[in-house]
Structure 1
Amino acid sequence: MKKNIQILLVGIFGLGILIWLGITFYLAYKPKPQILQGQIGAREYSVSSKLAGRIDQVFVKKGDKVKKGDLIYTIKSPELEAKLTQAEAGYEAAKAVSDETQKGARVETIVSARDLWESSKAMADLAEKTYKRIQGLYDNGVASLQRRDEAYAAYKSAKYNESTAYQQYKIALDGASAETKKAAAEKERAAEGQVNEVKAYIKDVEAYSPIDGEVSNILLYSGELSPSGFPVVLVVDIKDAWLKLSIPESYLENFQVGQKFQGYIPALGKNVNFKVNYVSVMGDFATWKATSSTESYDMKSFEIEAKPIGEIEGLRVGMSVVVKLEEK
């Protein structure tokens, strides 16, 4: 009886060894899931100015939370202030010329021209009467032909002077021509446009945040010279974050636009659900691997971008995300 028990124990022990060996070989040769690692990116905005100048003051520091419309930095530009003074002076001069053109000649000029015309008209009337008297004398044989011609010439000259004086009076009364008035008005508008242009640049001495976000970097500080359009301060919108990940070609069917998957963020110690919103149209050989000799192509990888589903507390740009792929 005792011998039977020993044989049974040996059999059980042997079976256990066989089971252990089977499990060990199974686990050793079982296909292991492939691990992919990506990282979090986010939309970054540059706060810049179209105005070149020296940075006057920066009101933020790295890590500050800012709201859309917050003042980020200011630029000091004495040259721009001088240009504004010059533009305003040019506008005032053009406006004065335009006003004078639209109003016409001064009252004194009009009165003087009218008096000159009336004087010329009186002289023309007198010359006409003189000519008619001498013409009558000539018809009666009292005055000579020479005297009659001289009176006629004096009469015609007086009429011409009257006409010239009247035209001068009309010019003074009517003012400048329509074309001259239009040209003066357009010059005034052009000068006003120059003033508005300089004022628009002056508004850009203050740079504001375009979004709600966090200051990620400051490239220039007070006293440094900023070129036009240079990104002085960078602001990150962490709410507009995404995961960038390279997917092997054989798994791409599981990561099409709109599909969801889960990734683990070690820095936060939790799993997060993502939704694919972009798949690269071109494959990349940077992470390719050769297939077996029986296959007819080499494996490529495709870059995808996926948005986190819901807001993730504590998420930062550059955090690693681990995604497990079951081996096919």
Structure 2
Amino acid sequence: MTEFPHESDDSKKPADSTESVTSREGQASVDPVEDASAAEPEQPTPTYNRGDSKADKSARIKKALLALFILMILGAIAYGLYKSSQHNEPEVITLQGQMQMQQTSIAAKVPGRIAQIMVTEGDTVTVGQQLIEMDSPEINAKINQAQAGKQIAQSQLDKAENGARPQEIAQAKAAWQANKAASDLAENTYQRVNRLYEEGLMARQKRDEAYAQYLATQDQTEAARLQYDLALEGARSEDKSAATAQVAQVDAQLDEAMAAKKEANLKSPIAGVVDNVIVSAGEVIGQGVPLLTLVDTNDQWVVLNVTESYLNQFAIGQTFTGTIPALSSADKPYSKLFTVYATSTLSDFATWRPTNNDDGFDVRTFEVKARPTTPDARIRSGMSVVVRINATPINQNQE
């Protein structure tokens, strides 16, 4: 085995010393085998050029700045295109309105106690359907009183129209005839006494008494005859008219009492839906107190508050589409077509006033009412209506 005495010494020398490089060159010419074995574990030491490293770093910074500048330019171009597309598209204004329906409050015209409530909230009622039954003893008493008064007045009228009974007529005739007979007897007696007086056989006093008796019986006979004529003729026309008026007055009182009883049994004046029942059975209520509320589902409208800048979109007779969120689903919005039928200005509190003269003039707010083309029974008062319009506001600075 060949021994290399200088192997360990050469491997321990530093690679960057000039002496080791010179000694290795000398040893390589003397002992090539030793040089090959010694060079194998050594790694070449790279040399760095500081000038080239700085140049590469500067180039990379320039490239990054250039890329950033290009990205900024592209972003500015994209933003400009986005804004230009926004200006080209019309501005969309969203308005929120509220549905309303015709409400009718049912109140009692007469006081009483509620005996029974025949409907509940949400029920559909028709015209003339009974809603509430009331118990009022006072009304029943007035009805009985009016009926009794009518019987009395009708009897007086019948008596005036029918006249005297046959027995009364016969009695009046007999009285007249009796008085007539007495008058004839008094006349004959006076004539006899007068002849005797003329012959001087009778005193004048007796003749005067006979004459006075004759005149008295004549007056009684005439009175009896007139009573008989009245019995034949019946009551006067004035008496008949008075009796007829008395009957009509009592009939009116009876009708009033019957109307009060009818009003006690409250009936629906319209066809609609029971919205709210205010009272309960057994309560005593007074005259004019509301008992329940009905709504007419066919009489619907939406109310929007619109500034006059956008009022040109809601002229009388114009139509627009509104969405009702309460009846919409996630994938299917519920929309209705509405027709404007009325507009009116709101009070001054709803006026938009400019802060200075350069902002333009005051902008008033108007209340717009519109009806759906086809009413829907599912719609209820208070439901929101969302309306989106392509706004074309009026230029406030335009004169």
* Residues in 1 aligned to 2:171 and 2:376: alpha-carbon distance in whole angstroms: 87
CA contact (8 A) 2:118 2:132 kept: yes
Equivalent residue pairs, number: 321
User: 59, 66, 75: which is aligned to 1:17?
Assistant: 75
Cα 1:311/1:172, change in 2 over 3 Å: closer
* Residues in 2 aligned to 1:87 and 1:99: alpha-carbon distance in whole angstroms: 18
* Residues in 2 aligned to 1:250 and 1:321: alpha-carbon distance in whole angstroms: 20
For the pair 1:70 / 2:70, whether they are aligned, the reply is: no
Q: Which residue number corresponds to residue 308 of structure 2?
A: 249
For the pair 1:286 / 2:349, whether they are aligned, the reply is: yes
For the pair 1:125 / 2:184, whether they are aligned, the reply is: yes
Q: Which residue number corresponds to residue 246 of structure 2?
A: 187
CA contact (8 A) 2:300 2:375 kept: no
Structure with the higher fraction of residues in strand conformation: 1
Cα 1:304/1:72, change in 2 over 3 Å: same
Residue 51 of structure 1 deviates from its aligned partner by 2.4
CA contact (8 A) 1:34 1:327 kept: no
* Residues in 1 aligned to 2:236 and 2:335: alpha-carbon distance in whole angstroms: 81
Cα 1:46/1:140, change in 2 over 3 Å: same
Residue 167 of structure 1 deviates from its aligned partner by 2.3
CA contact (8 A) 1:238 1:317 kept: no
Q: Which residue number corresponds to residue 334 of structure 2?
A: 270
Q: Which amino acid aligns with 1:62?
A: E
* Residues in 1 aligned to 2:229 and 2:375: alpha-carbon distance in whole angstroms: 80
User: 282, 298, 307: which is aligned to 2:371?
Assistant: 307
Q: Which amino acid aligns with 1:17?
A: G
Q: Which amino acid aligns with 1:18?
A: A
* Residues in 2 aligned to 1:182 and 1:134: alpha-carbon distance in whole angstroms: 52
Q: Which amino acid aligns with 2:367?
A: E
CA contact (8 A) 2:279 2:292 kept: yes
Q: Which amino acid aligns with 2:353?
A: A
Q: Which residue number corresponds to residue 258 of structure 1?
A: 317
Structure with the higher fraction of residues in helix conformation: 2
Q: Which residue number corresponds to residue 15 of structure 2?
A: none
Residue 199 of structure 1 deviates from its aligned partner by 1.3
Q: Which amino acid aligns with 1:294?
A: D
* Residues in 2 aligned to 1:146 and 1:313: alpha-carbon distance in whole angstroms: 110
Secondary structure of 1:294's aligned partner? helix
Secondary structure of 1:232's aligned partner? strand
CA contact (8 A) 1:33 1:327 kept: no
Structure number, greater radius of gyration: 2
Cα 1:145/1:82, change in 2 over 3 Å: same
Q: Which amino acid aligns with 2:173?
A: R
User: 227, 234, 245: which is aligned to 1:175?
Assistant: 234
**Unmatched 5+ residue regions in structure 1?**
1-5
For the pair 1:51 / 2:114, whether they are aligned, the reply is: no
Residue 320 of structure 1 deviates from its aligned partner by 0.7
Residue 234 of structure 1 deviates from its aligned partner by 0.9
- Percent sequence identity over aligned pairs: 36
* Residues in 2 aligned to 1:253 and 1:24: alpha-carbon distance in whole angstroms: 29
* Residues in 2 aligned to 1:14 and 1:200: alpha-carbon distance in whole angstroms: 88
CA contact (8 A) 2:169 2:231 kept: yes
* Residues in 2 aligned to 1:284 and 1:259: alpha-carbon distance in whole angstroms: 24
Residue 207 of structure 1 deviates from its aligned partner by 1.7
Cα 1:147/1:302, change in 2 over 3 Å: same
Residue 313 of structure 1 deviates from its aligned partner by 6.3
CA contact (8 A) 1:274 1:308 kept: yes
Q: Which amino acid aligns with 2:269?
A: P
Residue 54 of structure 1 deviates from its aligned partner by 1.2
* Residues in 2 aligned to 1:153 and 1:293: alpha-carbon distance in whole angstroms: 118
5 Å-filtered alignment, 1:19-168, equals: 19-23=77-81, 32-168=91-227
Residue 321 of structure 1 deviates from its aligned partner by 1.1
Of the structure 1 ranges 176-185 and 125-134, higher mean CA displacement relative to structure 2 is found in 176-185
* Residues in 1 aligned to 2:126 and 2:205: alpha-carbon distance in whole angstroms: 101
Secondary structure of 2:357's aligned partner? coil
Of the structure 1 ranges 138-147 and 55-64, higher mean CA displacement relative to structure 2 is found in 138-147
Q: Which has the higher contact order (CA 8 A, sep 6+)?
A: 1
* Residues in 2 aligned to 1:243 and 1:319: alpha-carbon distance in whole angstroms: 9
Residue 246 of structure 1 deviates from its aligned partner by 0.5
Note the alpha carbon deviations across 1:254-287, whole angstroms, 9 max, x for none.
Answer: 211101122222222233221100000x343334
